[in-house]
Amino acid sequence: MATIVDTASGKLEGGPGRLPGVVAFKGIPYAQPPVGKLRFRAPEPPLPWAGVRPALEYGKSAPQPEGAGTMPGIPFAEQDEDCLTLNVWTPAADDGKRPVMVWIHGGAYVTGAGSQKWYDGSLLAQRGDVVVVTINYRLGALGFLPLHRVGVEADANVGLVDQVAALRWVAANISAFGGDADNVTIFGESAGAMSIGTQLGVPASDGLFHRAILQSGTGVYVSDAERATRTAEHFLGEVGLTRADAHKVRDLPMAALVAATTRTQDALRKKLSRLPFQPEIDGDVLPAPPLDRVVGGASGDVDILVGTNLDEGNTFNLGDPTFRQLDDAGLVQRWEQSYPGQAQRLVDALRDARSARGDGVSPQDLGNSMFADVAFRQPAIELAAAHAAAAASATFMYLFTWPSPMLEGLLGSCHVVEIPFVFGSLTEPRAAMFVGDGPEARALATAVQDAWLSFARTGRPAAPTLPDWPTYDSGRRATMVLGAECRVEDDPQQAERLAWETVGQDARK
C-alpha cells in the first residue's frame, strides 16, 4: 500500500522499505538541479510540483570516476549533475516526532552516494524507531573546485552548502515523515565525517543539527587560499584553459570535468599532502578553520561522538608497490617532508611504542600506523579534546578494533570496516566478505547500533551489552573500544599520542 506525505514542494509517494514496518521515500529533490547557470553555484530551493510525485527509486549519483568505490556498490551507471536528492526511511509517516539520523557519505569528496547498498536505513529505522535520511551532494570539481580563486563567477564550497541545503530540507519537512526537526543527528564516515567536522564550523548550519557522529574523519583538513588557488589553477591546465578564459569551464561536458578531477587528484594529492578537492576557508561559508571555531565555542551545544578504526592506514597503502618495498631508511625519508629533521626521532619513538605492546614494527607496520595517526587518530583526539574543553554539551570517543577477514587478515581493522556494523548490513554479499559474519560479529553490530541509536535519542551512547560509556576529556581520555571484546580504556595508544605531541610540528602543513 502506498504512503503519501505532503512536503513544502508537493506530495510524495513512498513504498515498502527493505524490512517490514518501514516505509522508504527515495530520490527526493532537496534543491533544483545544479545545471546550466546553476553549475558551480550554491543550491537553490526545489521547485514545487503538482499531483503526487513517486519517490520509489533512488536519484542519480553525483558525477564521479568510473570504478571508484565499488566495494559499497555505488550504481555508477546512474550518474548525472541533477543529483541533489535524498532518501528517507521511517517506521511511519505520522506525528511520532522520532529522532532523525542524517547520513553524509564518504569517498574523499570525489566518490560516493546516499544510495549505496550499505547505507540502506531500514534496519536502523526499524530497530531504533528513528527516521533515517541519506543524502547526495556534489563531488570533485563540481562540488569543491574553488573557481572563485581564478576569477570565475562561482560560489565557494558548493558541495558543503549542498549539505546545508539538505539539512534545511530536513528541518522544514521531516515532521511529515514522523521525525523531530528538533532532534537531528548527523553521522558520516571518512569524507562524510570530515564534512561533519567542517559543518561544526559553518555558521549557516547552526541549529540544523543537535548531535554529530564522526566515523574516521574530522574537520581538520581544509584548504587555505594558497592551496585552493593551486588546485583551481592545476585543474584549468588539465582542461586546457587559462585564467583569461577560465569562465569556459562552465560549458565543458560532464565527462571532461570528471576526467580532469581524477587527473588533478592524482597529480596534487602528494604535492599538497592532502585532498585537492575539499572544503576551503573562504571567509563566508567557512570563515575560519573548523577546529579553531570549535575551540572558540562554535557548535558548543552539539553533542559529539568521534572515533577511528585501529588500522585505518592499511587500506590506503595496500595498493602502493613502492610502500611494500620500503626499508627503515625509506620510511624516514618519506616522513621528512612533513617532519624535516625530526622524522627519525618520530619513527624511533613509534617503533618503541609498538614494540612495547607486542605490535609489528616492520617499515610497513610503522608506515601504516603513522598514516592512520596523522590522517585520522590524532585529528580525532584534537577535536574531542577541543570540544570537551569548550562545549557545554557532551563528548564521547571510540576505537573500533574488529578486523576484516579479507586477505588473510592483512587489512586488520581498516578504513570503512565499521560501516556494515552501524547500518546492520552484514548480510550484504560484499559486506559479509569484507567484515565477516557469525555470532561475535552480529553481537558487535547490535551493540554498535544500540549505542548509535541511544546517542541519537538521548545524547549518550549506551547499549545493554556495553559497559558504561564515560564522557571524554583531556585528563582521563576515556575511550570505548569496540571489537570482539568491548571495554573502556583510558588514553589508548598513549605513547603514540605523546610522541606526536612531543614532535611539536603540524603534519598538515
| pLDDT above 50: residue 507 | no
Band of pLDDT at residue 113, cut at 50, 70 and 90 = very high
Q: What is the pLDDT of residues 244-289, one digit of tens each?
A: 999 999 999 999 999 999 999 989 987 656 799 999 999 999 999 9
pLDDT at 272: 59
| pLDDT above 80: residue 438 | yes
Residue 190 among the catalytic residues: yes
Give mean pLDDT, residues 416-426: 95
Query: What b/e sequence results for 293-324 when a residue is b if at least 16 CB atoms lie within 10 Å of its CB, and e otherwise?
Result: bbbeebbeebbbbbbbbbbbbbbebeeeeebe
More confident residue, 53 or 427: 53
Residue 247 among the catalytic residues: no
pLDDT at 1: 67
- What is the C-alpha separation between 66 and 459, in angstroms, rounded? 39
Range list of β-strands (E), 286-368 = 303-309
pTM over 0.85: yes
156 C-beta neighbours (distance < 10 Å), count: 23
The CATH fold assigned to 3-299 is Rossmann fold (3.40.50)
Q: Give the mean pLDDT of the chain.
A: 93
Catalytic residue chosen out of the listed positions 9, 115, 122, 190: 190
pLDDT at 506: 45
Catalytic residue chosen out of the listed positions 189, 238, 312, 418: 312
Environment class of residue 253 by beta-carbon count within 10 Å: exposed (0-12), middle (13-18) or buried (19+)? Answer: exposed
Catalytic residue chosen out of the listed positions 404, 415, 425, 496: 415
Q: What is the pLDDT of residues 24-48, one digit of tens each?
A: 999 999 999 999 999 999 999 999 9
- Amino acid in the structure at residue 391: A
Environment class of residue 99 by beta-carbon count within 10 Å: exposed (0-12), middle (13-18) or buried (19+)? Answer: buried
Nearest one of 400, 354, 352, 406 to 377, comparing CA atoms: 400
Environment class of residue 57 by beta-carbon count within 10 Å: exposed (0-12), middle (13-18) or buried (19+)? Answer: exposed
pLDDT at 505: 40
| pLDDT above 70: residue 226 | yes
Give mean pLDDT, residues 144-171: 97
Going from N- to C-terminal start, the domains of the chain cover: 3-299, 304-418+448-503
pLDDT at 75: 53
Residue 234 among the catalytic residues: no
pLDDT at 329: 94
pLDDT at 70: 47
| pLDDT above 90: residue 235 | yes
pLDDT at 508: 40
